[in-house]
Amino acid sequence: MQSRWNEREAAEAVERWKDVGADLALRVHSSRLIGAERALVLHGGGNTSVKTRRKDALGVEHEVLCVKGSGWDLKTIEPAGLPALELAPLRAMEALTRLDDETMTNELRRRLLDVRAPNPSVETLLHAFLPHRFVDHTHADAICVLTNQPDGEQRVREALGDEVLVLPWIMPGFPLALAVAKAQRAAPGCIGIVLRHHGLFTFGDDARTSYERTIELVTRAERYLAERGGSPPPLLAAAPRSSESAARQELAAALPRLRGSLALRDAQGEITTRFLADPRTADDLRAFSAAEAARALVEDQGPLTPDHVLRTKGPYLYLGRAEWSDAAATRAAVERYEQRYRAYFAEHRARVASPRELDPKPRVAVLQDLGVVGFGADAKAAAIAADIAEHTVRGKAIGAALGAYRALAPGELFEMEYWSLEQAKLGEKKAPALQGRVALVTGAGGAIGHGICAELLDAGAHVVATDFDATLLERTVALLRAAHGEARLQAIAGIDVTDENALARAFDEASLRFGGVDIVVPNAGIAYAAPLAELDVERLRRVLEVNTLGVALTLRAAARHLALQGCGGDIVVQASKNVFAPGAGFGAYSASKAGAHQLGKIAALELAALGVRVNLVHADAVFGGEVPSGLWAEIGPERMRSRGLSERELRDFYRERSLLKREVTPRHVGRAVVSCVRDLTRTTGATLPVDGGLPDAFPR
């Protein structure tokens, strides 16, 4: 591992954050250097601190400890992420013989200079009790691998030398703070302290010294592991049995089955939570998944550090080829995992006061020959689980090559998993209405497609936006990304809904990105206006192919996918007011949409047995907003000429002819789709007009 320290960048950091002083500016800078190294910390792991001086609102200067606050990630931390606490009262607590977690938390908040600041790290007292100005704590992979050996203490001493102290596993909080302080005072010349099954503390009187001690000690550990265990270790070195592309093709079928098995249900069998997937298929991960030793390592041994248990649980789910390739076998394997988890909870629940059992579903699965998959309530949580699992699997392989990988005992891991201060990190945020749901929208590049995708994202769904036209799709997706970011959005261009192979690719890619699809919106459509006597046969054929055959093929692909996934779902067909109130000169479009409407009704009849609801939205006079309407680009000029109206006057005409006399936008269509999929009324086969109120188009 190489030091990232650069004096010019350090000086720039002091200038950038000059309002908070050089000490805190350098603390932020070196914290970010640590956070940028994934082999040191992952997703909010680790913590850092600096002891400095700060004035309160009354101008009184205090000696303070600025320590990482809960919810901040070292990779992107700002000065606000290191709240200041009065140091003297914290140090006075070292005289106590006992301090429970709730009292400690309360005392820490009392000592904050700013009551609006985030909760300081649960290891704040450890930072306070150490005498050094700068303290760094990491969960370095190499250090954790060394400590997760039966003879871990000896391994650490061999790798790091006598300048480093080694402590046994001690639960974080007040007991650990006392133990670390006592050990450091007994050996004041030490440059670091390793905590078994936990990680590394380094310290110094300046930011660079503390940071570079971390880098030096981790480098020593990495060299030791490479020399003693091989580089790469045998479990990661074998050639995968199939190519990565072949593995991903098999994953595309396996993931929906697995995702459906992981869905949480209430006592009535209704799904309450769906998980998103994030698969990882690198060569070494697939090699590990194929190894004979893999099952025992992931099922029987816990994580590199107990800090990860909140994100991944302790054991992972292992699925052999016969298990992931068959729906019933997949469900049976998940059920066995759940039974083991419930037995684990029953065995150890007395270790924690009044624990509330967490859901028993796995958060990581290792699929033989295919790699590793993380699961979470949303794409971000799934990615966190997958990132941690990647490092853990590689660490376990290195540990097995070194000697034997032996993680923290299950009972002690339970205490960490159900520790109230750890649970508080996850918070109790109210989930959005469509959290965990994945929607695939065809024709997403147009005005209505944009409105549908935007409203689904607003409601918390993950969206797979597809279109045939890459340019139109990129324009729409750029707007969606600007409003919602990247994590919950996937764009797939080149999807011709009249091509069954293209549709199969769309569902496969959605499965590989998110694990499956729950909501399908057949929205792709084209317009063509001409009297019957003047119809161009080729254009008529294309309208029927896209608007009717395209819906039929999308419904077929959706039915197959939702049956494979096995946890219900929703389909919302975007039809048209013309189904009920066709217009002269619009025969091709009206007939094609009437066909789509009938297909939607048939789908409602056929898919109800799968728990799939199929409803229809009938829009009219949607001119577009941020994205222009392709339909009106096609028929608008003729409508303006025939009525002698300008574009603005044409919009006014369509608005005024409705009962409500209000404009209909793409967002209104999107909200109609969202209302259909929220399952508020237990409705299927329904038609919902979005047209401002047109009596001749009332559904009959």
Candidates 224, 405, 589, 654; catalytic one: 589
**What's the burial of 547, exposed, middle or buried (CB within 10 Å: 0-12/13-18/19+)?**
buried
Residues linked to residue 464 through DSSP beta bridges, in sequence order: 440, 490
Number of H helices and E strands in the chain, helices first, is: 28, 20
Whether 449 and 523 have beta carbons less than 8 Å apart is answered as yes
Count Cβ atoms below 10 Å from residue 349 Cβ, excluding itself: 15
- Residues 373-390 as b/e (b if ≥16 CB within 10 A, e otherwise) read bbbbbbbebbbbbbbbbb
DSSP 8-state secondary structure symbol assigned to residue 432: P
Query: What residues contact 339, with CB distance under 8 A and at least 6 apart?
Result: none
Residues 6+ apart with CB under 8 A from 610: 559, 562, 563, 566, 568, 569
413 within 8 A of 306, measured Cβ to Cβ: yes
The reply to whether 589 belongs to the active site is yes
CA–CA distance, 223 with 413 (Å, rounded to integer): 29
Structure-block tokens of residue 375:
């699961």
Distance CA 531, CA 539 (A): 13
Peptide bond into 432 cis (omega under 30): no
Radius of gyration of the chain (CA): 30
Cα gap 38→18, rounded to integer Å: 28
The rounded distance, in Å, linking the Cα atoms of 5 and 10 is 8
HSE (side-chain half, CA atoms, 13 Å) at 159: 31
**Distances in Å between the alpha carbon of 464 and those of 234, 486, 494, 507, 524?**
39, 11, 13, 9, 14
- The rounded distance, in Å, linking the Cα atoms of 316 and 699 is 51
- Return d(Cα 129, Cα 137) in angstroms, integer: 14
DSSP string covering 525-555: -----B-GGG--HHHHHHHHIIIIIHHHHHH
User: Which residue type is seen at 669?
Assistant: V
Beta strand 264-265 pairing with 271-273: antiparallel
Give yes or no for a contact between 382 and 364, defined as CB atoms under 8 angstroms apart. Answer: no
For 487, the 3-state DSSP assignment is: coil
Q: Are 398 and 406 in contact (CB under 8 A)?
A: no
Q: How far apart are CA 227 and CA 402, in angstroms?
A: 9
Question: Whole-angstrom Cα distance, residue 464 to residue 132?
Answer: 51
Nearest to 304 by CA among 80, 152, 115: 152
Interatomic CA distance for residues 529 and 590, integer angstroms:
10
Distances (CA, A) of 7 to 33, 172, 207, 408, 642: 13, 34, 11, 40, 72
Q: Among all residues, which ones are annotated catalytic?
A: 589
